[in-house]
Amino acid sequence: MSGDELLGPPATGSGASPTGIVVYENSISFLKTACTVTPRNEPATLPTLDNYLLSMSADSIVTAIVKSLELRRILLELSSELGLANDPSLRSVLRTDEEAIATSLAFIFDSKSQEDAVLHLEGDSAQCFLDVVQDALDRGFLMGPHSLKARRIIRKLSEISDSLPSSLFITGVTGREEHPMFGGGFGDIYRAYHNDQTVALKHMRYFVRGAELRRIKLKFCREALVWRDLHHPHILAFIGIDRDSFPNSLCMVSPWMEHGTVLNYLKDHGHANVDKLLSEIAQGLQYLHSRDIVHGDLRGANILINQDWNACLADFGLSSFSNTTTSMHTSNRSGSIYWMAPELITPERFGLKFARTPASDVYAFGCVCIELYTGRPPFSELSDAAAMFRVINGERAGRPAGTPAMSNILWQRVTECWAENPATRPITELVVQSMAWPPKQESELEWYNSKIVFKPGEWIDLDLLDENRSLIYAGKLLRQQENSRNWLTFLSSSPDPTIELHVLLFDHYLVMTKPEEKDGVTKYYVVKRPIPLDLLTLVNFTDPPIQRSAGNLYGGGDNAGVADSRSLFPCTLYHNARAGGSHILYAESAHTRAEWKQKLEEALGLRRVRQESNKAFELETLSTDTFLVESPMKPASYEQDILTGTVTCSMPFNTTDGRGLVAIGCSEGVWIGLRYDSRSLRRVLHLKMVTQCAMLEEFGMFLVLADKSLFAYHIEALVPTFPQDANAPQQPQKLDDKVEFFSVGSLLGRTLVIFMKRKNIDSVFTVVEPSIDRINESVRSPTQVRSRIGFRQPKPAWFRSYREFFLPSKTFDVVFLKARIAILGTTGFEIMDLLDFKRVIIPQREDLRLANLAKRCNACRPLGMFRSTDDEFLLCYNEFGLYVDRNGDPSPSRPIRTIEWEGNAERVAFHAPYILLFDNRFIEVRHVETGRLAQIIPGNNVHCSWDGRGRPSDSNEYRNPEARVHAVMNAPDQPGRPAPRAIARHVFQLVPTIPLASPTTPPPPPTTYFTPSSRMDDQ
């Protein structure tokens, strides 16, 4: 296939057609179309795009790639001028073009002639090609073999052209110390600062000339390119390349490792953690090998200890790709002899050429094990020549003596790493498995999973058998005995006012238990609701110790160093949840308290990192500062005209001309704007007390409930299309007043609107159906209007009456199901058939054994119901969730049927496979099938503005990547700044960030809500 075929046919447009190869032609075509949709930009932009088509055409695929960098920059500038910078359609088209460029790069890498053309590039052309390939790698467009080929061609072109990809370079390095802190064979390490971080500058010495200087530059280039692509907890991070600190030379920048090398650490702190460090070194080495990279110089001096006291591999100057065919002459065999595998010392004896391999790294790892246990590598007491002679004659160092003793398992692994035949050495994956740290982690989790006991009715699925679960710390703490006879006093008959707890710190929960042994079996009784780390705050770990006595705990002294048997050291935690609050635990020594604080901080940091990379949803802004409410700290009496009041509702929709819009309602009216441009929001309706809005896209109708009056507007009256339809009705229709709420949806093929009015204690429902014929008739024969918000009724009416009914109870919401509706009210969930008005209340409450559950349901407010499995549904109340079967009975397949929420939910939304519960302090995201907590999104004054209803149904909702939930919260406080006169309310949508279902696993049935069972005469 030729490059022309890969890149597609030449672009065509209104101007002259280019000849040759053009990249980004889809994006250019998109922008030209956008110009025609927005005519004011056409005169200036269309000729510009045509000129770029001509000037950016190329006669070869390599030249086209070179020109693509400049063309992409130009297109992004034009898209910004057209107001399309954040348009998802443009982003999709750009991605398509960039994938095509990646395909063209793959073609170049597979063609010897094309690769030769690349390696003849010089100057700016070489720089542009390097930048394009590096960008494709960084964005994941080149995978597998082509990723490796891309890195090789970057290395070759960098060496030939004396250039590096621009993305490697950084600026802003300051404060370099005058003298180096450390020195090596060809370079020095200086300390400096970058972005308020202490960094290390690795500077190559250029005191040589000719071939030696060339070799040093090539070594620098190779190390930078290899190191730049490495990202792992046990690999020293690469920050970038600095070209400003030293005249006419470069240096590599990495975080400053204050704790030095692993050898320094073990010398200063002892060998208690040596196995942990070896496990971390093995993990770093496995990561390199998984990326087909050989370290080539693994030894203690190249292993550093980071700020978290973990081992990190460093110095990649001898690193190479593991399946490279390039050999190196013996005279260039850098590296220390004491860690060299026999096939590197005498490759001819093995029928090989000199080449570092994963197997030679594994041999070096065995030497590192000896080095860390003894402080010296094998045979270090001998000269280089004597050590080489021992190794090539099959001799190996003996098992280390002394303390700590090397375990039998580790010594066996070391001897395997030293196998004479490289092919028989273990791969690093097996080395890591055999050195898992801590070694008893799995058995501990299984132990606790079977021994933890919850209070009746308060079980939480801790998911301790998940393969990624870990126990970070466990130990004894104390808390004050509670006075009343409760779970604690039931577990303990001791008169001591303190109770000993066994506290478990997992990577996701903090669990306080009281161990009790009976008949030789220890059980761990949970004394307080487990605290998700996402909702845990460390309040105070510095209060002075208090004295433990036979009476109550009381304060004593202010000497934090007191540690006698009767002193206790307070640790104050806060659980930011409905059933949470402050917890004061006591350690028996200052050292124990400090250790708990360190482990808690470590767990919280680890949780934040994992959640950031595995979160179910991320926030995408719809409005930043359009909506303002009065600040309680500084009343804005003289700025009342800028206050919009609180946001109450929102709704995304599309117009007939393809615009993606969002409507946002608040106390002072309705704003509408482009979905991805918050600056475009404009007030289109000056109505008071807007509480709900909805869009019937098929009918072009916008519904809004304001001050309990329900209005319908033709969308053309609010956001006209271009060209504007002069016959579109401008006057709204008022459906009714004194309306409490309304709901829209589809039922048996009909689009319906249901609204409720209250009459004494009764809830009176009216069901209407929009008529497309009546709407079209009003468009053909518009009435005269005085203003957009006038209320004179045009004829004919846009809605026809469908049903009316009432319920003798208070109701809160109506949900459309597959063939019926669910009415949420004080009686629970009432499932009703609109054809005959037959109804049934769920959950079923006839069973006297469920009297306590029925009482709990009656005391809580129903919020929503969702299908969890083929045969189950999850009923959501404000405090808990309940699984029921198709008959509405509590699910018999679950021994624990309820899930207690962390917050007090005021509303629930659904984006398969998650439910989102809205507390005013956070959004609680849980998996609908398991009920497990997946994510906590913190905020201030959080509310749901759209729960996903009212949009066209999606039969593939479990794989829909679009946002289906909107929310609003206060803008975060700015530290150090005075309180604002008005508080901005941020409106945002929650966008899924990870696959919602496996592509090979069929999703649950598409009907999300309750499907009536045969017991309820399902049709």
Would you give the DSSP letter of residue 58?
B
Reported as a single tens digit per residue, the pLDDT across 882-908 is 999 888 888 887 766 789 999 999 999
Say yes or no to pLDDT of 1010 above 50. no
For residues 554 and 560, what is the distance between their CA atoms, to the nearest angstrom? 15
Percent of the chain with pLDDT over 90: 46
For residues 474 and 804, what is the distance between their CA atoms, to the nearest angstrom? 61
Stronger pLDDT, 548 or 761, i.e. the higher one: 761
Stronger pLDDT, 520 or 633, i.e. the higher one: 633
Provide the Cα torsion 84, 85, 88, 90; round to 10°.
Answer: 70
For residues 1013 and 873, what is the distance between their CA atoms, to the nearest angstrom? 11
Sequence-separated contacts (24+) of 453-459 with Cβ below 8 Å:
453/523, 453/524, 453/525, 453/526, 454/526, 455/487, 455/526, 457/898, 458/526, 458/529, 458/900, 459/896
**Which residues, 6+ apart, have CB-to-CB distance to 322 below 8 Å?**
289, 292, 293, 294, 357, 358
pLDDT of residue 976: 62
For residues 1003 and 385, what is the distance between their CA atoms, to the nearest angstrom? 66
Torsion angles phi and psi, residue 902, rounded to 5: -75, -40
- Say which range, 147-156, 367-376, 552-561, has the weakest mean pLDDT: 552-561
Say yes or no to pLDDT of 840 above 50. yes
Rounded to the nearest 5 percent, the helix, strand and coil shares of the chain are 30, 30, 40
For residues 860 and 794, what is the distance between their CA atoms, to the nearest angstrom? 44
For residues 652 and 827, what is the distance between their CA atoms, to the nearest angstrom? 32
CB atoms within 10 A of CB 589: 17
Would you give the DSSP letter of residue 512?
E
For residues 296 and 360, what is the distance between their CA atoms, to the nearest angstrom? 8
- Say which range, 28-32, 586-590, 783-787, has the weakest mean pLDDT: 783-787
Mean pLDDT, residues 123-146 taken together: 90
pLDDT of residue 81: 80
pLDDT of residue 818: 86
pLDDT of residue 1016: 40
Mean pLDDT, residues 860-888 taken together: 92
Q: How confident is the model at residue 21 (pLDDT cuts 50, 70, 90)?
A: confident
CATH code reported for the domain at 473-598 = 2.30.29.30
Q: Which of 824, 798, 789 is nearest to 809 (CA)?
A: 824
pLDDT of residue 798: 92
Say yes or no to pLDDT of 37 above 80. no
pLDDT of residue 612: 87
Mean pLDDT, residues 833-858 taken together: 86
pLDDT of residue 635: 58
CATH number for 164-256: choose from 1.10.1740.10, 3.40.50.620, 3.30.200.20, 3.20.20.70: 3.30.200.20
CB atoms within 10 A of CB 149: 18
Say yes or no to pLDDT of 521 above 90. no
- Say which range, 651-665, 755-769, 942-956, has the weakest mean pLDDT: 942-956
Same fold, 164-256 and 258-439: no
pLDDT of residue 409: 74
For residues 690 and 649, what is the distance between their CA atoms, to the nearest angstrom? 8
- Say which range, 300-314, 564-578, 693-707, has the weakest mean pLDDT: 564-578
**Angle between the N-to-C axes of helices 61-81 and 88-110, in degrees from 0 to 180, rounded to the nearest 10:** 170
Residue found by looking up tokens 């990379």 in the block: 613
CB atoms within 10 A of CB 613: 9
DSSP assignment of 599-659: HHHHHHHHHHHHHHHH-SEEEEEEEEEEEEEE-SSS--GGGGGG----EEEEEEEE-TT--
CB atoms within 10 A of CB 67: 22
| 695 beta partners | 702
Retrieve residue 701's tokens.
């109708």
Say yes or no to pLDDT of 724 above 90. no
pLDDT of residue 118: 92
- Say which range, 40-49, 186-195, 351-360, 433-442, has the weakest mean pLDDT: 40-49
3-state secondary structure of 291: coil
Task: Find the angle CA(544)-CA(550)-CA(552) to the nearest 5 degrees.
Answer: 55
For residues 803 and 768, what is the distance between their CA atoms, to the nearest angstrom? 7
Q: Which of 311, 149, 292, 288 is nearest to 230 (CA)?
A: 288
pLDDT of residue 673: 96
Stronger pLDDT, 431 or 635, i.e. the higher one: 431
Retrieve residue 794's tokens.
């045009």
pLDDT of residue 559: 44
The residue type found at 322 is S
Stronger pLDDT, 630 or 484, i.e. the higher one: 630
Mean pLDDT of the chain: 83
Domain ranges of the chain: 3-160, 164-256, 258-439, 473-598
pLDDT of residue 1009: 41
Mean pLDDT, residues 747-772 taken together: 94
pLDDT of residue 171: 92
pLDDT of residue 519: 65
pLDDT of residue 1003: 45
pLDDT of residue 707: 97
Reported as a single tens digit per residue, the pLDDT across 650-668 is 999 999 888 999 999 999 9
The residue type found at 754 is I
Cα distances from 375 to residues 367, 380, 382, in angstroms, run 11, 10, 15
| 756 beta partners | 741, 765
3-state secondary structure of 41: helix
Say yes or no to pLDDT of 563 above 60. no
Say yes or no to pLDDT of 17 above 50. no
Q: How confident is the model at residue 56 (pLDDT cuts 50, 70, 90)?
A: low
Say yes or no to pLDDT of 508 above 50. yes
- The CA radius of gyration of the chain, in Å to the nearest whole number, is 34
Retrieve residue 79's tokens.
């898209």
Q: How confident is the model at residue 212 (pLDDT cuts 50, 70, 90)?
A: low
Reported as a single tens digit per residue, the pLDDT across 267-308 is 888 888 899 999 999 999 999 999 888 998 999 999 999 988
3-state secondary structure of 496: coil
Q: How confident is the model at residue 151 (pLDDT cuts 50, 70, 90)?
A: confident
Query: 374: buried, middle or exposed (CB in 10 Å: 19+, 13-18, 0-12)?
Result: middle
Mean pLDDT, residues 46-75 taken together: 78
pLDDT of residue 553: 44
Q: How confident is the model at residue 1000 (pLDDT cuts 50, 70, 90)?
A: very low
**Which residues, 6+ apart, have CB-to-CB distance to 76 below 8 Å?**
85
Say yes or no to pLDDT of 170 above 80. yes
pLDDT of residue 415: 87
Kindly state the helix (H) or strand (E) to which residue 403 belongs, with its residue range: none
Q: Which of 856, 857, 852, 855 is nearest to 842 (CA)?
A: 857
* Strand-by-strand arrangement of the 647-654 sheet: 647-654, 660-666, 669-674, 682-685
- Say which range, 633-642, 878-887, 910-919, has the weakest mean pLDDT: 633-642
Percent of the chain with pLDDT over 70: 81
pLDDT of residue 656: 87
Kindly state the helix (H) or strand (E) to which residue 265 belongs, with its residue range: helix 262-269
Retrieve residue 614's tokens.
């595995």
pLDDT of residue 685: 96
Say yes or no to pLDDT of 556 above 50. no
pLDDT of residue 520: 56
Name the pTM for this structure: 0.56
pLDDT of residue 782: 53
- Say which range, 14-28, 444-458, 676-690, has the weakest mean pLDDT: 14-28
Q: How confident is the model at residue 723 (pLDDT cuts 50, 70, 90)?
A: confident
3-state secondary structure of 713: strand
Task: Find the angle CA(685)-CA(689)-CA(692) to the nearest 5 degrees.
Answer: 80
Stronger pLDDT, 978 or 680, i.e. the higher one: 680
CB atoms within 10 A of CB 621: 12
Mean pLDDT, residues 947-951 taken together: 89
**Which residues, 6+ apart, have CB-to-CB distance to 908 below 8 Å?**
863, 864, 876, 915, 916, 917, 918, 944, 947
CB atoms within 10 A of CB 856: 16
Mean pLDDT, residues 767-785 taken together: 73
Torsion angles phi and psi, residue 340, rounded to 5: -80, 135
Cα distances from 276 to residues 262, 272, 446, 507, 736, in angstroms, run 12, 9, 21, 18, 71
Mean pLDDT, residues 200-219 taken together: 70
pLDDT of residue 218: 73
Domain 258-439 falls in which CATH fold?
A: Transferase(Phosphotransferase); domain 1 (1.10.510)
pLDDT of residue 711: 97
The residue type found at 307 is Q
Mean pLDDT, residues 742-759 taken together: 94
Reported as a single tens digit per residue, the pLDDT across 337-348 is 899 999 999 988
Q: Are strands 898-900 and 581-587 parallel, antiparallel or unpaired?
A: unpaired
Q: Which of 284, 273, 259 is nearest to 365 (CA)?
A: 284
pLDDT of residue 997: 44
